[in-house]
Structure 1
Amino acid sequence: FWGRMIFLLGLMWVALGVYCLYVILFITGLSRLKKTPKKTSLSYCPSVSVVMAVRNESKNLNSLLEDLVAQDYPINKLEIIVADDRSTDGTWKIITSFTNEYLNFNGVQITKKSNKMTPKKHALSEAISIARGTIILSTDGDCRVPKTWVSSMVGEFENNTGVVAGFSSVETESRLFHLFQRIDFLSLMSANAGAMGVGFSWAGSGQNLAYKKSYFNQVDGFFPVANEVSGDDIYLIQSISQVGGGSFNPDPDGAVMTLPVDSLWQFINQRIRWASNSQKQYQSQIWFLVFLLSVYIVNVSLLLHVVLGVFTLTFILMWVFKVFLEGVIIYLGGWISKTPVSFPVFLLWSLVQIVYIPLMGLLGVSGRFSWKP
C-alpha cells in the first residue's frame, strides 16, 4: 500500500511540476498580450468574408445577422456568407430575408449530406469556396458579436500572420450552472491565449477565428480531416500557423459571446466532444499532449487521494497550489477579456475539477458523443 502511495505521490509531484511550468508559460504569454484595442487602420482594410455554417438556428440567427449588419468595417470590403446545413426550421427563411435586403449577404443552402466530408466541414467548405475576401472570419449561429468585431480581428493581420484566434465568453447573468460554464470556458480561452502569446498555436474556437483564404487553400482546406466530426477549428489553427504563423487577439472589442447550454447532459456531451480531439495531438502537437496529460494526472491523483481518504498536508498543499495557479490564469484572462469572474463560483469549479477532468478525459477517449447529424 505504502509503496503504491509513494509512487502515486511521486507521479503527482512530477505531473504537478510539469503543469506548473506550463501555467507559468501561459501567464507569461497572457502578460505579453497587449490590452490596448487594435483597430484596423485606414490604410489596411483587406476584403473580409464572414463565414458560418448553421443548422436549425432560427431562435438565435436573426440577432447575430443584425450584429453583422451593424459592423463598423467598410461595407464594400465586407461580405457575409451563411451556409444552411439542412435545417428543418425557419433558418433558411431568415437567411433569405437578409440576402434580399443586403447586397453583401449571401446564402448557401445545403440539401443533402456529402459523401466526402462530415456535415459542418462540408457546409463551411461550400461557403468558403464562393468567398471573395482575402480573410475568412468565422463564428457560430448561436453567438453575438460587437460592432467592432470584424475591424478588431482583422487588425491582427497587419502583423502579417496566417491565423488569428479571439476570445469567446459565455453569456450569462446569475444562474449558477451558467456561471460555472463561464469560468470553465474562460479557463480554456485563457490558457490558449497564453500559449499563443508565447508562440504555441495549439487550439482555439471556431466561434471566433480568422485566417487568410490563401493559407486555407494551401493546407488543402478541411480535406486532411474530412471524416472527423469535430475539431475543424483546432486543425485550422495548427495547420495554418505552421505555414503562415498564428496569433491571439486580446482586444475585448473583438470578443464573441456565446450562449450557455441549459442541461447537465448537454454540457457533458459538449465537453466530451471537445476532449475527443485530444486523441489526435500525439500526431501533430506533442507538447500540447504533454500539457493535457499533466492536467489529467494531477487531477486523477487528487481524486485518488479523496477516494482513499488520504487527506495529508501534502495533498492539501498540492491542491491549494493548483487552485492558486489556475486562479492566476483565469483572473488574468478575465481581466484582459473583460469577463467577470465570481470567486465563489471559481472555488466551486476548482473543487469539481478533481472529478470533472478524469471523467471527461475517459469519456473523451471513448469518442461517444452526439452532435447535429
Structure 2
Amino acid sequence: MERKMITILYLLTVLFFILSASYKLKYLKRMQKVKDKKVSLIIPARNEEDNIEEIINSALAQNYKKENYEIIIVNDRSEDKTQEIIEKYEEKSENLKLINIKNKSDLLSGKQNALDIGIKKAKGEIILITDADCILNKNWIKTIIRCFYSENIGLVVGKTEITEEKRKNILYKIQVMVHTILLEFAQVPIMFGFYTSGMGNNLAFLRSGYFKIGGFEGLGDSILDDEILVRGFARSGYKIAAAFTKNATIQTKPMKTWKNMLKQHKRWIVGSLNIFTPSGLLALLFYFVNLYSIVLIFTNTYLFLFKLLGDYLLINYLDKKGKNILNIFDKILLSFLATFYLFFVETLALVNPRTKWKNEKYKLKRKQGEM
C-alpha cells in the first residue's frame, strides 16, 4: 500500500512537470498583440555596492523606448557606497530616479516598505519589480509587458535563473535545482487558476490594482512579497499570467556560503507558513512527507530506497530541462540529501520564524491575508 501511494505521488509529479512544459505555447500568440505601455521599474536596495552597477546597466540597456519607462531605485538606509554609486548614474540618466529612505517602517518589512514607497512615487501604468543583485535580459520589459494581453490580467509572474558560475560546486548546484523546482511549482497552478506564488525579483502588476488591493499594508504580514501580491490580486478578481520564456528570464546571483543559502531558504519557508494558503499547505505536506521518509530508513529500507529512486528520476528530469550541470554522482548525492536538507530547513522555520533581510531581523506580526 505504501509503495502504491509513493508511486502515485511521483506519477502525479511527473504529470505536473509535463503540463508546465506546455504552458508557454498557450500565450505566445497572444503576447504578440500587446502595445508598449508606460512602466515603472522599482528596485529596492540596501548595502548593494557590489551589485548595484550591474542591475542599473542592464536596466538602462533595455530594448524599450526610454520615454516609456522609468527606473526608480529605493535606497533603504544603506551603510556602504550604494547611494553614492546610484547618484552618479542618476546625474547622467534621464529616466533613473533615486529615493532615499531615512526611517524604518513599523508595519512593513524593509523590502516591502521600499517597494511601497517606490510604487507610490511611480508614474507608470504597470509596475515591474526586481532585486539589486539581479541582471536583466535586454528584452525583459518588452516581453513582460506583452503578457498583459487582457484587461483582466493584473499580475505577471516572471522567471528567474541562477547566473552561470565557472566554479560549479555542490552549493551552486543545489541553488540551481531549488530555483528550477520553485519555478515549476509557480507555473503549473496558474494554468488551472490556482495562484500560489512567484519570484519576488521578477514580477509585474497594474499600479491601479496595487492600490485597489490595499498595498502591502492591506495584504497582511508575510516575508514573501511575491506570495501576498499574487494572492491579493487573485482575491480581487484579477487573473495571473506567467512569463517563462527566455526573454522574460532574469539572472540572480547565488549565495556564496552554506550559511547564507540556509538563511535564504529558511526565509522563503517562513514566508509561506500559513496553512490557509496553497503554498502553506504545500509546505506542510512536504514537511510530513520528508519526516515520513526519514522514518522509513529505520522501518522500511526498501521503500526508502524506492523513494530515493523517484527523487533521482525527478532530479534528472529537472536537470535536463534546466542547466544540465549535474553528473551521476551529483544526482545520487542530491537525491539522498534532499529529504534531510528540506526537513532541517522546514524545522528551523517552524521553531524560529524570525528571519533577516539585509541583516535586519523581521518576524511575522500580522495575520496573513487580513484585509
Partner of 1:342: 326
Measured in 1, the distance between the counterparts of 2:281 and 2:70 equals 40
Is residue 356 of structure 1 aligned with residue 345 of structure 2?
A: no
Higher relative contact order (CA 8 A, sep 6+): 1
Measured in 2, the distance between the counterparts of 1:43 and 1:249 equals 14
Partner residue of 2:250 out of 256, 260, 264: 256
Is residue 311 of structure 1 aligned with residue 301 of structure 2?
A: yes
Partner of 2:103: 112
Is residue 369 of structure 1 aligned with residue 355 of structure 2?
A: yes
Deviates more, 1:57-66 or 1:115-124: 115-124
Shift of 1:111: 1.1
What letter matches 1:219 in structure 2? I
RMSD between aligned residues = 2.5
Shift of 1:23: 4.8
Partner of 1:175: 168
What letter matches 1:27 in structure 2? I
Measured in 2, the distance between the counterparts of 1:219 and 1:210 equals 15
Unaligned runs of 5+ in 2: 361-371
Deviates more, 1:288-297 or 1:205-214: 288-297
Contact 1:57 1:142 in 2 (8 A): yes
Contact 1:272 1:368 in 2 (8 A): no
Measured in 2, the distance between the counterparts of 1:16 and 1:222 equals 41
Partner of 2:186: 192
Task: Name the TM-score, length of structure 1 as normaliser.
Answer: 0.86
Is residue 162 of structure 1 aligned with residue 148 of structure 2?
A: no
Shift of 1:184: 1.8
Contact 1:83 1:109 in 2 (8 A): yes
- The number of residue pairs the alignment matches comes to 353
Per-residue CA distance 1:153-193 (angstroms, 9 max, x = gap): 11111244111111111112333121221122211112222
What letter matches 1:114 in structure 2? S
1:30-45 matches, within 5 Å, as 30-34=21-25, 44-45=35-36
Is residue 58 of structure 1 aligned with residue 52 of structure 2?
A: no
Partner of 1:4: none
% same residue: 24
Distance 1:61 1:226, change over 3 A: farther
Unaligned runs of 5+ in 1: 1-8
Per-residue CA distance 1:82-139 (angstroms, 9 max, x = gap): 0000001111112211221111111110011123322221111111001111111110
Is residue 221 of structure 1 aligned with residue 224 of structure 2?
A: no
Measured in 2, the distance between the counterparts of 1:98 and 1:187 equals 36
Contact 1:51 1:137 in 2 (8 A): yes
Deviates more, 1:154-163 or 1:292-301: 292-301
1:289-328 matches, within 5 Å, as 289-306=280-297, 308=298, 310-312=300-302, 314-328=303-317
Is residue 240 of structure 1 aligned with residue 226 of structure 2?
A: no
Measured in 2, the distance between the counterparts of 1:226 and 1:123 equals 16
Shift of 1:226: 5.7
Measured in 1, the distance between the counterparts of 2:4 and 2:270 equals 26
Per-residue CA distance 1:240-265 (angstroms, 9 max, x = gap): 13321101112111111111111111
Contact 1:52 1:82 in 2 (8 A): yes
Partner of 2:364: none
Measured in 1, the distance between the counterparts of 2:199 and 2:285 equals 22
Measured in 2, the distance between the counterparts of 1:143 and 1:90 equals 18
Measured in 1, the distance between the counterparts of 2:48 and 2:343 equals 33
Measured in 2, the distance between the counterparts of 1:29 and 1:131 equals 34
